[in-house]
Amino acid sequence: MGYHNMATMSETAGIKLGLKSRQATFDDYEEITALASRYRLEPETREEWVHLWANNPVYHQLRDWPIGWVFENEEKRIVAYIGNVPLLYELGDQRLTVTASRALVVDVPYRSYSFQLLNQFFKQKQVDLFLDTTVNAEASKVHEVFRALRVPMGTWNEAAFWITNYRGFSASVLATKEFKAARWLSQPLSVGLFLRDRMEGRFWKTRCNGNEASFCSQFDERFDDFWQQLRRNFPQRLLANRSREMLSWHFKRPMENGKAWVLTVDNGSKLAAYAIFFRQDNSASSLKRMRLVDFQALDGNAELLRPLICLALARCRSEGIHMLECMGFAPDKQRVIEALAPHRRKLTSWRYFYKATNRQLAETLKDPKVWDPSCFDGDASL
């Protein structure tokens, strides 16, 4: 769930305001979900929502961690909410307490309270680093007011993608345009897109060659070994904790539902690299979308990403998923993605903002080489 559009203060003119702020509780689930659903944010079951904290290893290490904040109106009805999900990152020998905002949503008459809601989030004292990875155009302006910065690595206002089901993809595109004849136009549009991709060689460039990559059904002990080696190999890089425990928590629900795929390249009995793909559909346009959310290689060999993407593309085609998408990767990984001849689309805003709470860390994070960003960061794949 991401950020809903924010309105200006003039929209609240004539409305009696007087909201009360408090910390969110698990008992607020029904009201928060109802509020989010009114603004077309993807619904979560209570079990999925509570899982973000109740089964989060970092949450249990911290004292008095708020799961978020709500604003109640004079009728004690929740009209605004922001979630607060704790994460663990490392930079060399530093262990950083990080938080990701989640599902900022404010009812229309109360949109002027968006600033106060974000103020609750950014004024936390026990946090080293704030991450927001699902920021829309309106929310980006507010983040700049709070001096949050754009991540200096990767392109976070553009996405690369491949079409893996032409009829479904075409129908989804036409649905967003609200064409009355969308049902009839989808067939000729899909044929045109298919022929263009054939002519430009996209099928040849994304063909699976050999059995270098394979699917993995769970995060086994190899992932702990991989994480420890990754930390040692890249001590000057900001890294989200990718231990077996954290990966299992992060992707538990989507893996159970078949909405997350883990693909690996093996080196004997050990992992040489892995990629995680995460289902992120757009229900409003009936788009079925798989997104590459993380890729790591022990020796930094970005070329290992190629067989992983090709295998994922083959599965998308076989399962009727409409597209596979990537965004925000560092240049070495992005070069591999570009070699596979994707399409490109512009996003409405820069998606990834951060804010460090101490001056030394803030200066360190200005260096693009410190970053290896992906949609594993923040709440982009939670």
Is residue 195's pLDDT more than 80? yes
> If pLDDT is split at 50, 70 and 90, which confidence band does 205 have?
confident
In our burial notation (b when 16+ CB lie closer than 10 A, e otherwise), range 145-166 reads ebebebbebbbbbebbbbbbbb
In our burial notation (b when 16+ CB lie closer than 10 A, e otherwise), range 34-67 reads ebbeeeebeebeeeebebbbeebebbeeeeebbb
Q: With pLDDT > 90 as the criterion, what percentage of the chain qualifies?
A: 83
Please provide the DSSP assignment of 254-308 as one string: HHHTT-EEEEEEEETTEEEEEEEEEE--BGGGTB-EEEEEEEEETT--GGGHHHH
- In the chain, the number of structural domains is 2
Please provide the DSSP assignment of 4-55 as one string: PP---GGGGTT-----EEEE--GGGHHHHHHHHHHTTPPP--HHHHHHHHHT
pLDDT tens per residue, range 319-331: 999 999 999 999 9
Cα–Cα distance list, 299 to 111, 329, 330, 331 (Å): 48, 17, 15, 16
110 secondary structure, DSSP code: G
280 and 333 share one domain: yes
pLDDT tens per residue, range 79-93: 999 999 999 999 999
296 and 202 share one domain: yes
Q: What would the two tokens of residue 250 be?
A: 């992060």
Interval 24-30 mean pLDDT? 98
104 and 195 share one domain: no
228 and 87 share one domain: no
For residue 18, being part of any structural domain is answered with yes
Is residue 221's pLDDT more than 70? yes
Question: What is the span of the domain harbouring residue 175?
Answer: 158-346
139 and 206 share one domain: no
Is residue 6's pLDDT more than 80? no
